Amino acid sequence: MDQRKRRRIVGRLITGSILLGTAVLISFGFVPKPVAVVAGKVERRALEVTVDESGKTRIKSRYVVSAPVIGNLARIDLEPGDEVVEDAVLAQISPVAPGLLDQRTRSESVARAAMSEANLERARVSVKRAEAALGYARDEAVRLRTLHASQGTSKQALDQSEFQLRAAEEDYAAAQYGERVAENELNMARAAIASMSGNSKNASGALTLNAPISGRVLRVYQESEAVVQPGMPLIEIGDPSKLEVVVDVLSTEAVKIEPGTVARIERWGGDAPIEARVRRKEPSAFTTRSALGVEEQRVPVVLDLVGPPESWIALSDGYRVEARIRTALISDALVVPASATFRDGNTWAVYKILGGKAEKSALELGARTPDWVQVKQGLSEQAAVILYPSDQVTEGVDVDPS
């Protein structure tokens, strides 16, 4: 074979090899690459379903001291935050002639004294009712403690009775405060009548307003000297050590909440959550607007703080907190990360990872939290699922989990 023919054959072989290599590279370029995904696991765990809403702290027993008669109010030296003891002098009202002496003012004062007497009788009835409820709660707590010691009742029933006992003690204390306030109002009304009759023990004719309870000054409505009218609020007093939390929840969530429900107070500024219990759910809802302008029906729910007082001593009136109210607790639930589920028509579904491929699986779901969803049917424990599936994830596509 001559030299020219040999070079021609070699050239053809080289050209064919180049073409073959190019074809192979092109074919590999058209092979789809696996979609990178984030994988999660189906597992069994305790699932706590909660209603999460923001709320505000509120002093349980707060009292507004008002002017019982028309008169000249002396300057109030107290400031918000000052401590006062029961019967301490809060303010003084001096007569303004002839207003304090006219017949109409006298008639109004007599009527106000009669109303104060009726309020005092009602307060005494409330004290008796609260005392009876407290006695019943104590007996019930003692009975359940005895039954629990002999394993005759559950720990949950015992905790419920202890909570009801604490609530009854708080109600009894509040009723006693109410009786003191009613007595103070009656004394002020009688003092007003005595001052107009010239029988006041105070030589100057000034009417003294005393603190109905021991606590702190929450607000001073009228600090400077001025002429005040009957019923004008002057100063507000409360006990910051007796706090409650008011949470406005959606009416669709409120139907799941009952008195005694366990709750937690979080993100209040302290190091640890505060234990709480639902004391009362208001009977009526109100209409409000969300941040998006959508009308909502919300129901006020009142929580009692049941943790040690020293754990929330930094809280005071009107502080913003985050409340988690438990509506269900499933001790052993099969759950899947909520980020793996998506709507598929009228059902829920996930993408499982089987043999390196994505496989869609329809689900029957149960309870849901922001992080987890209970699986009733459609997945088995330890199954691998795709979290946050994108539009690149479809049935049968190759995936590369990370």
* Closest listed residue to residue 84, CA positions, set 290, 189, 231, 240: 240
pLDDT of 202 reads 46
- At residue 99, the pLDDT reads 47
Count of Cβ atoms closer than 10 Å to residue 280 Cβ: 14
Burial class (CB in 10 A: 0-12, 13-18, 19+), 343: exposed
Residue ranges of the chain whose pLDDT lies below 50? 98-100, 199-203
Task: Give the integer Cα–Cα distance in Å for 77 and 82.
Answer: 10
* Tens digits of residue pLDDT in 199-253: 444 445 678 888 888 888 999 998 888 888 888 999 999 888 888 999 999 999 9
Q: On the CB side of 261, how many CA atoms lie within 13 Å of its CA?
A: 24
Cβ distance 71 to 101 under 8 Å? no
**Domains identified in the chain and CATH numbers:** 36-46+331-401 (2.40.420.20), 49-57+241-330 (2.40.30.170), 67-237 (1.10.287)
Residue 186: predicted pLDDT: 78
CB 174 within 8 A of CB 161: no
What are 401's strand-pairing partners? 37
Q: Which pTM was predicted?
A: 0.60
306 burial class (0-12, 13-18, 19+ CB within 10 angstroms)?
middle
Residue 319: predicted pLDDT: 92
Residue by residue, what is the 3-state secondary structure of 248-259? EEEHHHHCCCCC
Cβ–Cβ under 8 Å, residues 172 and 134: yes
Please name the residue that has the structure tokens 């052993």: 332
Angle at 141 between CA 139 and CA 147, to 5 degrees: 105
The pLDDT score that the predictor gives to residue 195 is: 62
pLDDT of residue 3: 65
What are the residues whose beta carbons fall under 8 Å from the beta carbon of 53, sequence distance 6 or more? Answer: 247, 248, 249, 322, 323, 325
Query: Cα separation of 233 and 137, whole Å?
Result: 37
Predicted confidence at residue 165, as pLDDT, reads 82
Task: Return d(Cα 395, Cα 119) in angstroms, integer.
Answer: 74
pLDDT computed for residue 254 by the predictor: 92
